């Protein structure tokens, strides 16, 4: 894409008039004229009016403010979407994050939005003349120079810097989903299949469980936070309805236990002097149990001997055993 400019050659000894090259108003603020040649400094100033000079001098501030607003909107949208939707509808969360992070870019690129740009550029110099590019033909004509039309390419913008806040917001959303999750093991002791609800959204269908086995509970992962957890039977009966705060990195058991069965925490300690086993009832009446430690094995007994040679360690399992 090219822009329409006007080119003229003016004697080096001739000073630029105190006229704003952007609006032809009286120029009162001297600003250095940028050069199109990298590393070239003509050492010439042009006089802009106060309004045009303010817009030029505030370009960097406006650019930083726009990128900061992109980051704030993107991270805010990512956090809000994660808190509201939890682990569900991840593509929608990504879309909302991208829309929020790129919204300031859409405003800046709107056809009616005018970007502040220098109205006069230094093109080149020779022994006796400066070569100028101006946005307005009448400004160069006031210098008594012959004016020619020049179609100059639009300066390339590094779009990666405009997209960096959106990428940071997506990274934040990924961090929330990766490190901010809580793990649920859901038990259902009824006669028919049931549906697990998280924040009133269907997550999984589970089969009933009456005895302990390795697949007794169904694993459901969700984002931590204040969550409404439920289990609904096939006939629409609400079996479990609880609202609780789930903490990231924690393990939980949700559901109803078979009659006469209770949850126990089995702790097996391995060492050079032998092994020690500890079995304690998990406190609480449910339907939600928060486990005080990370669990290595679910609803299966631990081996009294380690499967691999070790100098020591502790393994923990959750058991579904007859109540004591």
Greater confidence (319 vs 41) lies with: 319
Q: What is the pLDDT of residue 146?
A: 78
Q: 81 and 173 in contact (C-beta within 8 Å)?
A: yes
Q: 169 and 78 in contact (C-beta within 8 Å)?
A: yes
pLDDT at 190 > cutoff 90? no
pLDDT at 302 > cutoff 90? no
pLDDT at 70 > cutoff 80? yes
Count the helices and strands in the chain (H runs, E runs): 5, 18
Q: Within its chain, how far is the Cα of 304 from the centroid?
A: 46
pLDDT at 78 > cutoff 60? yes
b (16+ CB within 10 A) / e for 209-237: beebeeebbbebebbbbebebbbbbeeee
Average pLDDT over the chain, rounded to an integer? 82
pLDDT at 300 > cutoff 90? no
Residue 31 CB contacts under 8 Å (≥ 6 apart), including other chains: 45, 46, 47, 48, 53, 56, 57, 118
pLDDT at 77 > cutoff 80? yes
Q: Torsions phi, psi of 57, nearest 5?
A: -70, -20
Q: What is the pLDDT of residue 271?
A: 64
Q: Give me the percent of the chain exceeding a pLDDT of 70.
A: 88
Residue 12's closest CA among 148, 145, 150? 145
Residue ranges per domain, the chain? 2-176, 181-322
Q: What is the pLDDT of residue 94?
A: 92
Q: What is the pLDDT of residue 310?
A: 57
CA distance linking residue 180 with residue 5, whole number of Å: 54
Q: How confident is the model at residue 315 (pLDDT cuts 50, 70, 90)?
A: confident
Pairing outcome for strands 181-187 and 251-255: parallel
pLDDT at 295 > cutoff 60? yes
pLDDT digits (tens, 9 = 90+) for 209-237: 888 888 888 888 888 888 999 999 888 88
* DSSP one-letter string for 288-319: EEE-SS--SEESSPPPSS-SS--SEEEEEEEE
Greater confidence (129 vs 115) lies with: 129
Greater confidence (266 vs 270) lies with: 266
Q: What is the pLDDT of residue 14?
A: 78
Q: Which strand ranges, in their side-by-side order, compose the sheet holding 297-298?
A: 274-281, 261-271, 312-322, 297-298
CA distance linking residue 55 with residue 242, whole number of Å: 56
Q: Give me the percent of the chain exceeding a pLDDT of 90.
A: 17
pTM > 0.75: yes or no: no
Greater confidence (62 vs 254) lies with: 254
Pairing outcome for strands 312-322 and 297-298: parallel
CA distance linking residue 301 with residue 296, whole number of Å: 11
Q: How confident is the model at residue 305 (pLDDT cuts 50, 70, 90)?
A: low
Beta bridge partners of 26: 19
Residue 129 CB contacts under 8 Å (≥ 6 apart), including other chains: 9, 10, 11, 12
Q: 130 and 10 in contact (C-beta within 8 Å)?
A: yes
């Amino acid at each position: 894409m090219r822009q329409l400019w006007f080119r003229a050659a003016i004697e080096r000894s001739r000073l630029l008039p105190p006229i704003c090259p952007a609006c032809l108003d009286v120029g009162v603020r001297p600003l250095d004229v940028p050069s199109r040649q990298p590393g070239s400094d003509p050492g010439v100033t042009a006089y802009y009016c106060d309004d045009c000079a303010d817009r030029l001098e505030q370009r960097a501030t406006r650019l930083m403010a726009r990128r900061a607003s992109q980051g704030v909107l993107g991270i805010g949208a990512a956090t809000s979407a994660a808190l509201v939707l939890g682990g569900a509808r991840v593509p929608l969360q990504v879309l909302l994050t991208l829309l929020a992070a790129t919204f300031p870019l859409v405003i800046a690129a709107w056809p009616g939005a005018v970007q502040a740009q220098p109205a006069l550029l230094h093109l080149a110099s020779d022994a006796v003349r400066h070569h100028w590019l101006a946005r307005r033909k009448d400004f160069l004509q006031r210098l008594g120079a012959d004016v020619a039309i020049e179609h100059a390419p639009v300066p390339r913008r590094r779009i990666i810097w405009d997209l960096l806040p959106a990428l940071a917001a997506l990274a934040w959303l990924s961090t929330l989903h990766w490190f901010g999750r809580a793990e649920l093991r859901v038990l259902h002791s009824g006669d028919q299949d049931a549906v697990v609800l998280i924040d009133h959204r269907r997550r999984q269908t589970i089969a009933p469980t009456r005895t302990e086995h390795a697949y007794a509970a169904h694993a459901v992962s969700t984002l931590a936070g204040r969550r409404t957890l439920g289990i609904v039977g096939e006939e629409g009966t609400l079996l479990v309805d609880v609202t609780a705060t789930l903490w990231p990195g924690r393990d939980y058991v949700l559901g109803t236990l078979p009659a006469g069965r209770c949850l126990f925490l089995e702790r097996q300690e391995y060492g050079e002097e032998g092994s020690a086993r500890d079995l304690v009832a998990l406190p609480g009446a449910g339907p939600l149990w928060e486990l005080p430690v990370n669990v290595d094995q679910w609803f299966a007994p631990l081996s009294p001997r380690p499967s691999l040679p070790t100098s020591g360690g502790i393994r923990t399992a959750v058991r579904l055993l007859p109540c004591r």
